[in-house]
A and B are shown apart, each in its own frame.
Chain A
Amino acid sequence: MGELRLMKGNEALAEAAIRAGMDAYFGYPITPQSEVLEYLTREAWLRTKASILQAESEVASINMLYGAGGAGGRVMTSSSSPGISLMQEGISYIAGAEIPCLIVNVNRGGPGLGTIQPSQGDYFQSVKGGGHGDYRLIVLAPATVQEMADFVLEGFELAEKYRNPVLILTDGALGQMMEKVELRDQVDRAARKIPGWATTGKTPDRAANVLTSLFIQPEEMEQVNLRLQEKYKVIEQNEIRYQTIQVEDADMVLVAYGLSARISRKAMEICRAHGMKVGVIRPISLWPYPSQVITDAAQHAKAFLAVELNAGQMVEDVRLAVNGRCPVEHYGRMGGIIPSPEEIVTVIEKLYSQVS
């Protein structure tokens, strides 16, 4: 068993990054995730000699990440919504040049400067693009402080396996809440194999390594895009992650990720205690999206309810998966308001009475 500690989500994430053998972190302060940078500047250099740099902006951070990831480093940045918006240019280049790295978005309410309270308003931006061009990020959504930590090493490994940026999409509440967390052992930084494609200096035995997303000839650019799409298909085949809770016999299925999945689970338990057959599907990978498990559940379920901290974003993916087999509704709060389980139970009861 690993070391047990009581930690804030943001700190657990930072601690996990050190233990994952991270080589460098570049970031810029923004609430509610500044603890990541603060924790790393305190701990990382002393313990593993990882390089931690407070950049002048998120634009610089993400481009530092590009350079460092391209040079073969295991590298991470974190930010919150407005900062992630600034990073979108770099994220598109990183996806285009196929540079592995880990990006963390501790989502707060928007649009604009918004609020520092938790939100899931960045779902579209995370899974449907955000930057320019046809690319995909692997998006992981933790629901506990434990997962805030666990998804760091998993994220690095996925990024390196596919040479693709990985995004941990979490929110201000998970970043700030304290829970028990079991920490993994330290990964030795020096033991990690540096990939052959990295720009580490051209040696006589190989051609120069070039990392670029520029392919000016349309034929070549199309081939690069087709190859990327093939890669994304392989990721879709292999990396879908989700959790199902009492979905087998459910008349009504809640679909929720991250913080809203925790609340939905509680709402489900209240409903079950009242004899209502309610289940929960929790997508863990938001891309690739667990569409099939939703499609399967739609064979017997009578209605779906997507619970999100937004105006209705992931519900579109639920609708696609359900494909008209039964009604799909959305319930969401915005502006940083977190609904109570009872509030969701009320919504479920109304919907349940209509379909059963």
Chain B
Amino acid sequence: MAGFSFAAWGNDLYTGRRSYAIVAQRKRWFAVAAALAIASIAILGFKGLALGIDFRGGTEISVENVSTTQQAPAIEAVRAVAPSDEPRVASVGSNALRIQTLKLDPDQITEIGQRLAEAYGIVPADDITVSSVGPTWGQGVSMRALWGVVVFVLAAAAFMAVYFRAWRMSVAAIVSMLTDLLVSAGVYALIGWEVTPSTIIGFLTILGFSLYDKMVVFDKVRENADGLLDQTRTTYAERANLAVNQTLVRSINTSVVALLPVGGILFVGALLLGAGTLRDLSLSLFVGIAVGAASSLFLATPLDVALREREPKIKAHTAKVLAARAGSDAGDDVLVNAGAVQLQPGHHLGQAAQPRRKSR
């Protein structure tokens, strides 16, 4: 075998010849997820999200009768006065500019006005109008978006509970989706870009993607767990772990394929365009997709196993399997090598493994 073959790796994962004990080590993943979530909450709490002009209001400067509608001088003018600001400049008509900034005090506005006047050859008193932007729109959008999230979560939870016929699965998916959202928001706050309506859109998309990804993985779990109770060789945890391993290649491929275009926009947006719709949207998406794909494997499925092992039927079944196994030579690490039970021809599993006549 020359080098590493992705297909062969996928093959080994599929057959269980190679297996990562993702479910068995679930406590570790829960700890990681909890740490990330707590860190995100801390970041959100201490640093907070930098809200854009649409959410917190701000100052809007209209410059009219400019000789050129180039935006660079306007950005420079604002930056010179308020260095931390990320002004949004748009041409209005053929001879006017609109500059959105953070809330500025009158002195700053006067100074910016003078600089703008120099740069564009205008009369400050006549051609510059200043108005402030109310935060109503952003709040309105966030409120409705929040409602959208609540309704979506309820509807999706109901759908999954019905589809999988197991409410615990749906709970696991929703909980890990919300964790995704939290962590994405944390990363966004950490980077410190402004939250604009585009960011909100990005986060809303994350919800859909994250849940979609979990659906795909869970569907494999469901498929593997079908007929689980009719046999005593593998436990639910093992089969779920097998499912995770089997979908590993798909998850990697999916994430790469989804991340490539988003990464492209992020790269171009952040480097070439500066603040704007594309940049904000792509960052929230990039983080969200990566986190969502990872949590489908490492959080959602282990969480599902942890929840479903409390289900009486599955609990009893797991106990039965483990009891049956205790007699055989397979040790504790069978659980670790979940799904990787390899039977060797000619090897005897002991008398316990032999078919038995049932008492009549």
Q: Do these two chains interact?
A: no
Chain B positions near chain A (C-beta within 8 angstroms): none
